[in-house]
């Protein structure tokens, strides 16, 4: 496993945490990728951004005999997922709220690996009927356990205010709406990306990046 962190551009993976047909997650990730492409660090070539879709990984429910922290992977799908995640220096987790937590697919995808998350900066972008903040809080706890370093700024999109349902049948529960976030959401995502790039740079230069035992663990 070539676990990224080089002196080159900070490679940021936008992990799409929902997998269901008709999900809003794809749209949210596309919006996030667009905002990221306009970020100063990306425009300068100091960072790159790529979408990582858990639906495409099609991971079964965790079927590794050895816990991920031992790094003794047996299955081809785990090795593939490990290579994918190891290729990034940092992450933005794009997650909806499902029953006050993260989707099972996202928890499963995180549980598969360990070293591939360690010490890397992570941002939390949630969405849900109420912004997905409870999923965000769970995700912060989960990421602390795999020693990712969650940056302070989070972004929360609310389905009924950050999506546009004009023209949709109000009685249709599958209508995804079009993403139309309030301006401050974009500003928040921009700030989150700045924090991610700064933290990743501190890691490369051996600076004061703190792990799960440091003050960030409590966020
Ligand atoms: C199984 C399930 C549980 C949900 N639970 C919550 C919830 O607890 N709180 C909330 O605000 N929204 C909840 N929602 C609404 C979702 O956050 C919203 O539909 C979001 O678009 C789902 O993400 P997805 O479209 O990418 O699957 C739930 C949706 C689903 C499918």
Tens digit of each residue's pLDDT (9 = 90 or more) over 174-187: 888 899 999 999 99
CB distance 27 to ligand 1 below 6 Å: no
CB distance 99 to ligand 1 below 6 Å: yes
Q: Which residue is closest in CA terms to ligand 1's atom 24?
A: 23
Whole-angstrom distance, CA of residue 135 vs CA of residue 144: 14
Average pLDDT, rounded, for the chain: 92
Whole-angstrom distance, CA of residue 9 vs CA of residue 45: 6
C-alpha of residue 42 to centroid of ligand 1, in Å: 31
C-alpha of residue 147 to centroid of ligand 1, in Å: 27
CB distance 159 to ligand 1 below 6 Å: yes
Identify the pLDDT of residue 12.
98
Domain 10-167+176-218 of CATH type 2.60.40.740:
no
Residues 162-175 pLDDT 10s: 999 998 887 888 88
In terms of Cα–Cα distance, which of 146, 50, 160 is closest to 107?
Answer: 146
């Amino acid at each position: 496993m070539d676990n990224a962190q080089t002196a080159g551009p900070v490679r940021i993976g936008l992990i799409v945490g929902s997998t269901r047909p008709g999900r809003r997650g794809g749209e949210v990730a596309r919006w996030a990728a667009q905002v990221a492409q306009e970020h100063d660090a990306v425009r300068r070539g100091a960072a790159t951004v790529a979408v990582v879709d858990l639906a495409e990984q099609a991971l079964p429910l965790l079927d590794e005999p050895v816990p991920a922290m031992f790094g003794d992977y047996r299955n081809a799908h785990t090795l593939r997922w490990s290579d994918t995640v190891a290729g990034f220096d940092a992450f933005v987790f794009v997650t909806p709220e499902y029953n006050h937590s993260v989707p099972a697919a996202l928890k499963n995808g995180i549980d598969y690996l360990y070293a591939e998350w360690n010490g890397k900066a992570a941002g939390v972008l949630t969405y849900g009927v109420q912004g997905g903040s409870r999923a965000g809080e769970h995700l912060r706890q989960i990421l602390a356990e795999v020693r990712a370093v969650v940056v302070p700024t989070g972004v929360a999109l609310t389905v009924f205010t950050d999506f546009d349902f004009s023209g949709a049948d109000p009685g249709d529960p599958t209508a995804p709406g079009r993403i139309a976030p309030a301006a401050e959401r974009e500003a928040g995502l921009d700030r989150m990306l700045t924090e991610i790039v700064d933290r990743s740079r501190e890691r490369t230069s051996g600076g004061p990046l703190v792990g799960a035992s440091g003050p960030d663990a409590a966020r």
